[in-house]
Amino acid sequence: MDAAGWDERYAASELVWSAEPNRFVAEVCADLSPGRALDLAAGEGRNAIWLAQRGWTVTATDFSRVGLEKGRQIADRAGVADRIAWVVADATSTPWPDEHDLVLVAYLQLVEEERRSAHERAFAALQPGGILVVVAHDSTNLTEGTGGPQDPAVLMTADDVLADLAGHDLDVLRAERVARPVGEATAYDCLVVLERTS
């Protein structure tokens, strides 16, 4: 969907996603020392708000103005509005300063060329020692899991993410398929955690 499609989806319900952070974002980031974070494709801001509650200063970006406005209202009610900047931006084309300690890319659904551009920009936004966390619907979810996009062109594997960033100075901390319970069923995501080394 384009920005207008996501605006419509976010406007149609109180919350499209859970108010809780993504389970893998929480797992990976719980023990990190707070600093400056960039949340690409933040949607309604659940991960950005969780990070702000843990002391991070966050830039939450999305191309859906409606999603970000909902996030801003939730952040205000949660008492962390002063810790989050809400920025309407396109993850595939917006340049970010390389000053972030953490960059999140959670469930950004793009075809390969656009996905690679978004991942390269996410990595470029890190300062040395910064952590990139990518969580996405795994390609195997289409045949082995439940829910998520049914278009294989916007699904990926951990190896795809690593290929997107081939040639960059990084250490791979995690790159795997992970299971996510959905009621009685199981969804499969790919999880990649990288550290920029220089």
Predicted local confidence at residue 8, as pLDDT: 74
All structural domains of the chain with their residue ranges: 3-196
Largest CA distance in the chain: 44
Percentages of the chain per state (helix, strand, coil), in multiples of 5: 35, 30, 35
Predicted local confidence at residue 97, as pLDDT: 97
Q: pLDDT digits over 93-125, tens only? A: 999 999 999 999 999 999 999 999 999 999 999
Across the beta sheet with 126-137, what order do the strands follow? 84-88, 57-62, 36-40, 100-106, 126-137, 185-196, 170-182
Separation between Cα atoms, residue 195 and residue 175, nearest integer Å: 12
Task: Quote the CATH superfamily of domain 3-196.
Answer: Vaccinia Virus protein VP39 (3.40.50.150)
Q: Give me the tens of pLDDT residue by residue for the chain, a chain 198 residues long.
A: 566 665 576 565 665 456 789 999 999 999 999 999 999 999 999 999 999 999 999 999 999 998 999 999 999 999 999 999 999 999 999 999 999 999 999 999 999 999 999 999 999 999 999 999 999 999 999 999 999 999 999 999 999 999 999 999 999 999 999 999 999 999 999 999 999 999
Rounded to two decimals, the pTM is 0.92
57: DSSP letter:
E
From residue 177, give the alpha-carbon distance in Å to each of 21, 95, 159, 163: 19, 29, 10, 15
